[in-house]
Amino acid sequence: MNDEKLIAAAREAAANAYAPYSEYEVGAALLFDDGAVVTGSNVENASYGLALCAETNAVSKAMNDGRRAGLVAVAVVGPLDKGDGAPITPCGRCRQVLNEIAQLGGTDPEILCVGNDEVRRVKLSELLPHAFGPANLT
């Protein structure tokens, strides 16, 4: 699985976003070390504050499938026609949600933040340094 394919999977996922309020459709694709890709998109709610982000939905899908480890990369894409075209980075809550499965499996996934003209690659540990996670509770 190369970057382009993972990004394409995230873009496909964004097509299923339910974002009638923000009209900001996001897609996320998680790559696992067995080659599996699990995707998600944002799902909003008439009670605006209940919106669920693409990354959070993807992690929830993966964990509901029984995955607890092996997360190696994540691609995140936003709409091409909104904002300044800068790479989209996961929101704070999604960083914490991603950290849960990453720390469980002992990986530090590469996050591919897709912009209109560039893909910014950052480690989750760079986005969420000094993370609180499951290891703190044992």
Any contact of residue 90 with ligand THU (CB under 6 A)? yes
- Whole-angstrom distance, CA of residue 18 vs CA of residue 111: 23
Any contact of residue 101 with ligand THU (CB under 6 A)? no
Any contact of residue 42 with ligand THU (CB under 6 A)? yes
Q: Which of 25, 44, 55, 110 is catalytic?
A: 55
70 or 90, CB closer to ligand THU?
90
Active site residue 55: yes
- Whole-angstrom distance, CA of residue 22 vs CA of residue 57: 17
- Whole-angstrom distance, CA of residue 41 vs CA of residue 2: 21
Any contact of residue 19 with ligand THU (CB under 6 A)? yes
β-bridge pairing 27-32 and 37-41: antiparallel
What angle is formed at CA 2 by the lines to CA 134 and CA 4, rounded to 5 degrees? 105
- Judged by CB under 6 A, which of 1, 8, 11, 24 binds ligand THU? 24
- Judged by CB under 6 A, which of 7, 26, 59, 97 binds ligand THU? 26
- Whole-angstrom distance, CA of residue 18 vs CA of residue 117: 25
Any contact of residue 53 with ligand THU (CB under 6 A)? yes
What are the catalytic residues? 55
